[in-house]
Amino acid sequence: MRKIRVLVVDDSMFMRRMISDLLSQDAAIEVVGTARHGQEGLEKARALRPDVITLDVEMPVMDGVTMLQQLMQELPTPVVMLSSLTTEGAEVTLKCLELGAVDFITKPSGTISLDIYKISSQLIEKVKAAAQARVPTAPTATRPASVPFLSQPMPRRVDSEAPLVVIGASTGGPRALNVVMSSLPAQLHAKMLLIQHMPEGFTRSLAERLDRNSPFTVREAQGGEVLQPGVAYLAQGGKHLKVERGGKLMLTQDPPVHGVRPAVDVTLLSIAQNYSGKVVVAILTGMGNDGAAGVRALHAKGAYTIAEDESTCVVFGMPRAAIQTGCVKRVVPLDKIAEAITEGVMELCGKSQAA
């Protein structure tokens, strides 16, 4: 079986050695080279053609962002960013994900992490997933001046009857969420929850980025809020997001589900149990099967269910698992997800109005 060939790019000799040693512990991975900065990283990438590159952000000569931009233009390759857990680090990491990086992992204690062994299993898992990923090369969408697919006005509804839209994503999700949120029509009368697998410290920056591009107000959930039309609440990194009776949001630090926190299934199953309104669910790109159980439960209660088509997924795991339940109504590529959500809201509003 062919090994996954990895190039490690980091300006610290210690980090290059540690990352190489950690990855080499797995029989399926071979570190084929290392580089001290982005310029050398590009040269090594051209020569070695690795399957995956691990890339530090802050480096001399050429930083990680600049290398990533050039790499994606010249030689699109799956990249896993190594990020510092700071506000600035979160902003740069999210920019890298928009530019085409497949995923990221946070160094446990700064630029030179003597305890990087703590994330060895996560690093190996992310590199393996990246090796199977589709590299997103198209530029991130921006909100169009008008949305042609909203062919008729939204039915007038009182706020309590506005449908709830829930979007779940993992690997490749930040970029996918930006595409979807920037394409939604401003007239869409709906409440919204966004669940993105992400560690603590990154979701506030993600919410701010989505807010800038979306007609919805996007906020990081704090717990205690009541769902409102026109507002999208993003699950906080490192915490599960649940919906209680009355549409009130609750954050918990219950154990991870499917190895992640926040988990899409935790949110969806709480909605199935506690929420009586109309629901639209969309499962986007991501590794694993998070969201499938929730899709099944909400489908049984009449939810309008959507999954991203394999052709645009960075990783097709979560949408595939949802589709395999037999409970997904629409399977569409990323650039059609916003349209499918809008059609779902319109259909549910029509049904409830007819009822």
CA distances from residue 60 to 30, 35, 37, 65, 96 in whole angstroms, order as listed? 26, 12, 6, 12, 17
Residue partners of 146: CB distance under 8 A and separation at least 6: none
User: Is 258 an annotated catalytic residue?
Assistant: no
Helix%, strand%, coil% for the chain, nearest 5: 40, 20, 40
How many other C-beta atoms lie within 10 A of the C-beta of residue 142? 11
**Given the residues 183, 240, 290, 299, the one annotated as active site:** 290
What letter represents residue 337's amino acid? I
Residue 192 in contact with residue 308, Cβ under 8 Å?
A: no
Catalytic status, residue 197: yes
Query: Which of 46, 52, 49, 41 lies closest to 79, judged by CA?
Result: 52
Among candidate residues 189, 197, 240, 258, the one labeled active-site is 197
The residues facing 157 across adjacent strands are: none
Residue 34: closest CA among 61, 10, 58: 10
Q: Exactly one of 20, 83, 170, 270 is catalytic; which is it?
A: 170
Selection from 56, 68, 64 nearest residue 110 by Cα: 56
Report, as residue numbers or ranges, the catalytic residues.
170, 197, 290
